[in-house]
């Protein structure tokens, strides 16, 4: 995976972030979701590397990045803290303005980054999410059953950590293999990286990510006073997934962003690994002619 990419760490104010960088062209930050690493982009990266310099980062708490100690308010795992990491990473690499493509938790980090640092992002593509507050306020029995992990992982430590830690491999495979495509999107190399990274430290940090989402992240949303993302935003989601079944994705994003387009793709949640050609095509088409 990522043949020819440099693999290194970048220190930030609150962590150190594992980065894989390669390709050529305008900088594009790629962010992953739960419970994965930047490896989820390996198929798409091969299709983007001739047009973009790709910065593939592991979020704090995941993969090869640091797992900072938490605090009672979960601030070290707020999307604000994670977004600040990414701004600092890109600045350290010499990129003051950049594109973003992000999935799942990474897309929530990207949302916060676009609000907190609007001058940094030229345009963004988000995969298979609706805005966090709208997903909580729009919770139905169908959503709660499908996204049970949202309400499990945010429980006070150490309950979810202990339960997942009893059989972490089973949990990972069950959680990620329960969608419409099963485990078929994951190559053996990527799956090996995901499972190797699924350590007690990552399990705890990922729970903190979800605890932050249910508390301090919502407070930050409220404090925004209705601020909306101003850069061009493309939203893609799987037609066989929960976003399609439970939300009107474009309507929800238009509450949070000024310039939104998007559509469903014929897949499930893990679109970048299930439909890499289509995802790469969507990203390249959308980002073309949007540079400074």
Check if the beta carbon of residue 279 is closer than 8 Å to that of residue 272.
yes
User: How far apart (Å, rounded) are the C-alpha atoms in residues 252 and 237?
Assistant: 13
217 catalytically annotated: no
User: How far apart (Å, rounded) are the C-alpha atoms in residues 191 and 189?
Assistant: 6
111 catalytically annotated: no
| 168 token code pair | 């972490």
Nearest Cα neighbor of 64 from 86, 35, 27, 38 is: 38
| 10 token code pair | 């970048």
Is 248 in a helix, a strand, or coil? Answer: coil
- Report the relative pairing of strands 52-57 and 16-23 from DSSP bridges: antiparallel
Helices (runs of H) and strands (runs of E) counted in the chain: 15, 8
Q: Which entry of 52, 58, 103, 104 is annotated as an active-site residue?
A: 104
CA dihedral (30, 249, 228, 291) positive or negative: positive
Catalytic site residues? 104, 269
């Amino acid at each position: 995976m990522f043949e020819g990419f440099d693999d290194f760490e970048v220190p930030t104010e609150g962590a150190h972030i594992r980065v894989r960088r390669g390709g050529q062209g305008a900088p594009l930050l790629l962010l992953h979701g739960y419970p994965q690493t930047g490896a989820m982009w390996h198929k798409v990266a091969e299709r983007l590397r001739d047009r973009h310099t790709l910065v593939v980062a592991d979020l704090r708490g995941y993969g090869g990045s640091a797992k900072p100690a938490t605090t009672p308010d979960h601030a070290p795992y707020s999307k604000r803290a994670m977004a600040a990491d990414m701004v600092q990473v890109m600045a350290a690499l010499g990129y003051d303005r950049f594109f973003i493509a992000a999935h799942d938790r990474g897309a929530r980090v990207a949302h916060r980054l676009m609000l907190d640092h609007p001058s940094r992002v030229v345009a963004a593509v988000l995969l298979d999410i609706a805005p966090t507050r709208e997903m909580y306020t729009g919770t139905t029995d169908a959503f709660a059953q499908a996204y049970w992990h949202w309400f499990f992982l945010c429980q006070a430590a150490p309950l979810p950590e202990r339960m997942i830690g009893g059989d972490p491999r089973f949990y990972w495979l069950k959680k990620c293999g329960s969608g419409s495509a099963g485990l078929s999107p994951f190559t053996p190399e990527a799956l090996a990286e995901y499972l190797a990274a699924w350590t007690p430290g990552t399990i705890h940090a990922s729970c903190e990510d979800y605890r932050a989402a249910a508390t301090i992240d919502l407070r930050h949303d409220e404090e925004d006073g209705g601020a909306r993302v101003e850069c061009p935003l493309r939203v893609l989601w799987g037609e066989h997934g929960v976003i399609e079944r439970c939300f009107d994705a474009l309507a929800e994003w238009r509450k949070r962003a000024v310039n939104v387009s998007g559509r469903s793709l014929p897949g499930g949640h893990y679109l970048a690994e299930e439909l890499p050609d289509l995802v790469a095509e969507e990203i390249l088409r959308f980002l073309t002619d949007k540079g400074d």
